[in-house]
Structure 1
Amino acid sequence: MARRKRTRSVLRTAASTPKVEQAPTRVVIDALEGDKARVELPDGTTADWDRASLPTGVREGDVIRIEGEGKDQTFSIEAQETEARRTQTQSDLDALNAGPTTGELKL
Structure 2
Amino acid sequence: MAKQHEEPGIRYVTVDGIEGKMARVELPDGTTEDWRLTALPKGAKEGDVIRINVKGGDTEIEIDHGETDRRRNSAQTELLTLNAKSPQGDIDL
- The answer to whether structure 1 residue 73 and structure 2 residue 59 are counterparts is yes
Superposition pairs of residues 16-95 of structure 1, within 5 angstroms: 22-68=8-54, 72-95=58-81
Q: How many residues align?
A: 82
Q: Secondary structure at the match of 1:94?
A: helix
One-letter identity of the residue aligned with 1:37 = A
* Higher relative contact order structure (alpha carbons within 8 Å, sequence separation ≥ 6): 2
State the shift of 1:74 in Å.
Answer: 1.8
1:100 aligned partner: 87
Q: Whose strand fraction is larger, Structure 1's or Structure 2's? A: 2
TM-score, length-scaled by structure 2: 0.77
**Identity within the alignment, %:** 47
CA RMSD of aligned residues (A): 2.2
Deviation at 1:23, TM superposition (A): 2.5
C-alpha distance in 1 between matches for 2:44 and 2:72 = 15
Runs of 4+ residues deviating >3 angstroms: none
- In structure 2, how many angstroms separate the alpha carbons of the residues matched to 1:81 and 1:27? 11
Q: After TM superposition, give the deviation of residue 73 of structure 1 in Å.
A: 1.7
Max Rg structure: 1
